[in-house]
Amino acid sequence: SVTSFTVTPATGYKIGGVTGCDGSLNGTTYTTGPVTRNCTVAASFSPLTYTVTPQAGPNGTIAPSAPQTVSHGATTTFTVTPNPGYSASVTGCSGTLNGTIYTTGPITGSCTVIASFSMNTYAVTASVSGGGGYVSPSSQTINHGGTATITITPDTGYSIGSITDNGTPVPGANPYIISNVTTAHTVVVTFIQNTYTVTPQAGLHGTITPNIPIQVAHGSTTSFTLTPDTGYRIDTVSGC
């Protein structure tokens, strides 16, 4: 007579083969041939495998770039490399990105890992310390390698005193231009009040005090004492 066995793989495995007793496998049922002696039915199992397919958009790469065969429940990794000035985002196969390494979750079916790349942008902010003018724009977003332009406008009677970019003093050009932006920038401008020289002069037979040039801030006033010699009076005073 013949007998039958049901062959059931564990989760994540498939039937590799069944041999013995001159039988045959139909689906999960193994039926022996006519049994005329002691014999052994041996079943073997192999892990299921799935295809993980990588895809990369423009401006970067994913490696390996060929589809990977992964056993059931195992994980696989890919190296994601953006071009300079770009950042990566990766989706698919329930994975996580750590630095440039994307590790899938446990694979239980064929899936696709998709890497996309976007150009980096940087914030450029500008402000005034202490008043005396303004800057424009106060904030802007610049693409990697782009140019930021900041217009500096002193109030009447003021001039640019200093400019710092990320804490480093830079030449006081106006407008202030940052070429080839590859990081965030914080620009701080200070203004100084203009000063002017008022020079006193006195003719014969009297004095003017003080009798040295005086530095006077824009919009301010200064004064002098005029003292005629004995027997003289102030004739005229002019200037400023």
pLDDT tens digit sequence for 56-92: 999 999 999 999 999 999 999 999 999 999 999 999 9
Q: What is the pLDDT of residue 208?
A: 97
CA distance 109 to 70: 9
CA distance 8 to 124: 64
Q: What is the pLDDT of residue 132?
A: 96
The residues, ordered by sequence, that sit 6+ positions from 39 with a Cβ below 8 Å of its Cβ are 20, 21, 22, 32
**Model pTM above 0.85:** no
Closest to 225 (Cα-Cα) out of 205, 202, 204, 198: 202
183-225 confidence digits (pLDDT tens): 999 999 999 999 999 999 999 999 999 999 999 999 999 999 9
Q: Taking 90 as the threshold, does the pLDDT of residue 176 lie above it?
A: yes
Q: Taking 90 as the threshold, does the pLDDT of residue 227 lie above it?
A: yes
Please state the rounded mean pLDDT for residues 26-50: 96
Q: What is the pLDDT of residue 172?
A: 80
124-165 confidence digits (pLDDT tens): 999 999 999 999 999 999 999 999 999 999 999 999 999 999
| Residue pair 127/103 in contact by the 8 Å Cβ criterion | no
